[in-house]
Structure 1
């Protein structure tokens, strides 16, 4: 018999993988032949940040790295760079779980927005240093802004539809500690 906490963790991990696969599939669909004037948000990044801020024990780092590596390959970006940057960003949040748990939403949103901007600028800078052809700094900042503005919408959707709430005080985590 499987422990209920382990089953819940596995179920949420598979749910994260399914949602990421659905977003990747929707991104690949040719919905318009005209290039977009304004870059859209990176919904997978928002989903990963929401999940790591709310329930960091339910999405392991390896799963996040694999999802973003597949995203790199499908988006024809340099494989592994964006995955590594996102992994470092999510592990930064995971290490600060105790301090982020009881923050008001405005502080959480500004923390996520600052992290999104930092990650996207780090990616742009590394690509610029190695002279990889890429979009300019302006569209990169607009993409970070769109992703930061989409964060509350993804959070509201995960709270309303998936009921992904943060752990309560005194609830045991999957590693045997207390929150």
Structure 2
């Protein structure tokens, strides 16, 4: 065996081992890539599943929140309309006694009719209860201030001007407006009478 043959045999062994190593390396690279893709797909699937669960929980929480807001909104609207109805009733009661007090103050009649006096006695207590149920202390205070001003006029024959009576009623109306959320300023009588 000469040196040339040794080189040929060595080259053949190296070539056969190198080719296998190359094939083994290529196969390992391909198999590693395939595993990496599968692992990435599994991770993506897990991530997507987690996102879907989170999204479903968020949607459920959002629906619950919307339902709570709708319930609160409905309660607030009902309360507002109840308050408005009660305030209308109170204004009706007050306007009835104001009409009589104006007639007496303007000397159109000598005294308040017994029918109106009886109605005032009965309805002012009802109005107090109604206002207490739905309103704030400010409205109740203005109502009481007005009624305390009217009682001596109705029962004791005391005198007051129409302007004084109207100012008491306007103060109550303005507190009702604020309580109802009508905040465009106070209403004031600007007429000549």
Which TM-score applies when normalising by structure 1? 0.31
Largest Rg, 1 or 2: 2
Structure showing the higher helix proportion among its residues:
2
Which TM-score applies when normalising by structure 2? 0.30
